[in-house]
Structure 1
Amino acid sequence: MSSNQAAVVADEAARPGRCRITVESDRAASFDVGRNELLLLSAIAQGVEYPHNCRVGTCGRCKTRLISGRISPMVDFALSPLSNQELKDGYILACQAKVRGDLVIDVKLGGTSVLPVRTVSSRVVRWERLPGEVIDLRLKLDEPLRFNAGQYCTIAESGSFVRRSYSFYDAPPAADSEGAQEVGFLVKRLPGGQFSEWLFERDRVGTKVWLEGPFGMMGVADHDRDGLCVAGGTGLAPILSIVADRLQRSTGARFTIVFGLRTSRDVFANEALQQLLARYPERLRLVTILSHEPAGSSWQGPRGLITAALDAQLGVDYRDVTAFVCGSLPMVEAVEKTLQRLGLPPERIHADKFLPTGY
């Protein structure tokens, strides 16, 4: 046995059941995970700044090139957001990859501060029905919680095994504070959905709710670049968080929010939007477009699918903005294609694809 082979054997003996993950471009960032653990979840649990958002294999943010080593995919990567060329080049999704042994990978770590994932108890302090079958759910936390703009957490009623993911609509707490004392979410009713149907049954003020988070990396750096935010339905929640945060951090960045809904009767969160517009009248613009508004109504705004609002007349320099796109999977994918066709570089499109978690 060579000296190098002996060193490997000794190292594995010192780490029983552990696998070394070596980052090709930054070996100082290498870390260990347990054999058969999911690569992404183990990394973020250790505070590794691993790119991710959905954690269920739909957004593609955690794509990673596998240079050497063996993993077991939890899904068929051919049906994932990975392109055919990326599959040929050895890319995997870290959130769906069980580690079977030592790996060498290529992935760009960093880009945002990683906050520890915590479990916090809370009580419902606001349960307000909004238009469009949406509830404004506000929780008072028993312990302060820190999160970044555009992040989300999982929520569960105390004693229930039904957990669902929702994005914070608040701007993140001040950097010099202990964290947020309250957090808010926009919950759309999903017919047959266990959590949303339970939530809509009656006023839940006073109910104990558990939160786990934060997760995701939507609110990336580069705060001074102008932004285009495209939200479908309750995809507005992370957009509100990101826009409020960016407008506070930057003195000059301008933002356009394109908000897509079905009809004028579905327009919600108008108070929060108007407050932002009043605070930053020169730096924020709102375009609300309705896809199914009756022809004879008094609606004076644009009509059509949300992609219809994304054209040269919008007054956005698509080549120079950062885009944040949040909503249902089909809507986000259609918007991504439209923005790229208009000249927006793919690396500056940050998407949060909402997918029903189950019933």
Structure 2
Amino acid sequence: MFHPLRVTEVSPLTDDSVTIAFEVPEELRAEYRYRAGQHIAVRRFVDGAEIRRTYSLCDAVPAVPAAGDGSAAGDGHGPRTLRVGVRLVEEGEFSTYALKELAVGDVLDVMTPAGRFVLEPRPGRFAAVVGGSGITPVLSQIATILSREPGATFCLVRSDRTAASTMFLEEVADLKDRWPDRFQLVPVLSREEQQAGLPSGRLDEARLTSLLPALLPVTEVDGWYLCGPLGLVTSAERALRALGVARSRVHQEIFHVDEVPSGPVADPIPGGATVRATLDGRGGSWPSTAGESLLETVLRNRSDAPYACKGGVCGTCRAKLVTGEVRMDRNFALEPEETDAGYVLACQSHPVTSVVEVDFDA
């Protein structure tokens, strides 16, 4: 669900990125309570056209206060402020607006937090491989688990083009200063030599396969978190698989995917297809137009259907397939155990049978 939130801060991070802070009114704080690693969708209208973009929340989730302390920002009622990092994307409609026009006092529609790329505080050893703006959700994860769980350690391998392009450089350095014995930071620059540390260059599969075991016992890590461009995440996943890491311990979120060809177009279903959907406890049944995704069919009849990117990346449109079969063109959001359990991305799924039923509430 979207609510209009006032912008309270637009601060430069690098030459091509900013942080944006939104004020959460008291009556909405519970709705915007979030877990470390989740994201929000931001919506604006331009010449009648709707633009939605998804951004991860980058602040730490406030620790639960001691009994009787109900006045702190982390008093359990939800955040007073939401903060996201936005990097300029070439020809990006929203990112260009955010960096060049957005100002304090402006109001934007902001969806309540969503996403399953989360790390719940618990004792153990954790690690992440991130690239570029992929630091955003992981920054929240690191700050939250280190502040809440004294029995946790974290190793962060981050890749950036240059030092000047590195987002949240000071925030990560502060975490290192606060927990020097529990937080290991390994920065890598792909286009600039560092005075100390690792040589410059891309973190490809071969390099990660060699590097990671030198940093920590990879198979003893309780959770690996991979976030960034598709190439980096895929390379890291393959390296971890080659090193014997169990798939259940690897979690990933893609921040950018180039356009890829859709799958083969299925033959038209005789008589057309019917899409049934349950959303917010209400059901409906509608005919599907040839070539439409499940999400497009539902949106024609229910404007409140959840979505953000429509690219198979964010996972906002996740739904449980109840009956029928679908063809899912691409999936960069659902874990294998989710697809095994019957979950699909509605924005990428097309009917293969005459009747398809999905449940957005499941």
Normalising by structure 1, report the TM-score.
0.62
**What is the CA–CA distance in structure 1 between the aligned matches of 2:150 and 2:245, rounded to whole Å?**
23
* Residue number in structure 2 paired with 1:150: 37
2:12 to 116, 119, 129: 129
1:344 to 226, 238, 245: 245
Partner deviation per Cα, 1:195-232 (whole Å, 9 max, x = no partner): 11111223522110121121111124472121111111
- In the TM superposition, what is the alpha-carbon distance from 1:164 to its structure 2 partner? 0.4
Partner deviation per Cα, 1:320-356 (whole Å, 9 max, x = no partner): 1110111112211111111111222111001011236
- Say if 2:62 is the partner of 1:167: no
How many equivalent residue pairs? Answer: 239
Kindly, what percent of the aligned residue pairs are identical? Answer: 27
* Residue number in structure 2 paired with 1:316: 216
**What is the CA–CA distance in structure 2 between the aligned matches of 1:291 and 1:209, rounded to whole Å?**
35
* Residue number in structure 1 paired with 2:176: 277
Q: Is the 8 A contact 1:164 1:195 kept in 2?
A: yes
* Residue number in structure 2 paired with 1:182: 81
**What is the CA–CA distance in structure 2 between the aligned matches of 1:123 and 1:247, rounded to whole Å?**
30
Question: What secondary structure is seen at the aligned counterpart in 2 of 1:230?
Answer: strand
Question: What secondary structure is seen at the aligned counterpart in 2 of 1:185?
Answer: strand
- Say if 2:155 is the partner of 1:256: yes
**What is the CA–CA distance in structure 1 between the aligned matches of 2:5 and 2:63, rounded to whole Å?**
20
Cα distance change of structure 1 residues 138 and 149 upon mapping to structure 2, 3 Å threshold: same
**What is the CA–CA distance in structure 2 between the aligned matches of 1:261 and 1:148, rounded to whole Å?**
26
Q: Map 1:211-250 onto structure 2 (within 5 A).
A: 211-221=110-120, 223-250=122-149
- In the TM superposition, what is the alpha-carbon distance from 1:312 to its structure 2 partner? 4.9
Cα distance change of structure 1 residues 183 and 312 upon mapping to structure 2, 3 Å threshold: closer
1:333 to 234, 248, 273: 234
* Residue number in structure 2 paired with 1:14: none
**What is the CA–CA distance in structure 2 between the aligned matches of 1:298 and 1:171, rounded to whole Å?**
29
- Say if 2:95 is the partner of 1:206: no
- Say if 2:203 is the partner of 1:306: yes
Any stretches of 5+ residues in structure 2 without a counterpart?
A: 65-74, 258-308, 312-362
Question: What secondary structure is seen at the aligned counterpart in 2 of 1:163?
Answer: strand
Q: Is the 8 A contact 1:226 1:255 kept in 2?
A: yes
Question: What secondary structure is seen at the aligned counterpart in 2 of 1:260?
Answer: strand
Q: Is the 8 A contact 1:147 1:173 kept in 2?
A: no
**What is the CA–CA distance in structure 2 between the aligned matches of 1:180 and 1:222, rounded to whole Å?**
18
Worse-matched range after superposition: 244-253 or 153-162: 153-162
**What is the CA–CA distance in structure 1 between the aligned matches of 2:242 and 2:83, rounded to whole Å?**
35
Q: Is the 8 A contact 2:208 2:239 kept in 1?
A: no
**What is the CA–CA distance in structure 2 between the aligned matches of 1:173 and 1:180, rounded to whole Å?**
8
- For 2:196, the aligned partner's letter is Q
Worse-matched range after superposition: 247-256 or 152-161: 152-161
**What is the CA–CA distance in structure 2 between the aligned matches of 1:125 and 1:202, rounded to whole Å?**
14
Cα distance change of structure 1 residues 132 and 252 upon mapping to structure 2, 3 Å threshold: farther
Question: What secondary structure is seen at the aligned counterpart in 2 of 1:292?
Answer: coil
- In the TM superposition, what is the alpha-carbon distance from 1:267 to its structure 2 partner? 2.1
Give the root-mean-square deviation of aligned CA atoms: 2.2
Question: What secondary structure is seen at the aligned counterpart in 2 of 1:254?
Answer: strand
* Residue number in structure 2 paired with 1:291: 190
- In the TM superposition, what is the alpha-carbon distance from 1:261 to its structure 2 partner? 0.6
* Residue number in structure 1 paired with 2:23: 140
Cα distance change of structure 1 residues 216 and 298 upon mapping to structure 2, 3 Å threshold: closer
- In the TM superposition, what is the alpha-carbon distance from 1:123 to its structure 2 partner? 1.5
Normalising by structure 2, report the TM-score.
0.61
**What is the CA–CA distance in structure 2 between the aligned matches of 1:124 and 1:242, rounded to whole Å?**
24
Partner deviation per Cα, 1:108-137 (whole Å, 9 max, x = no partner): xxxxxxxxxx43321212212222511111
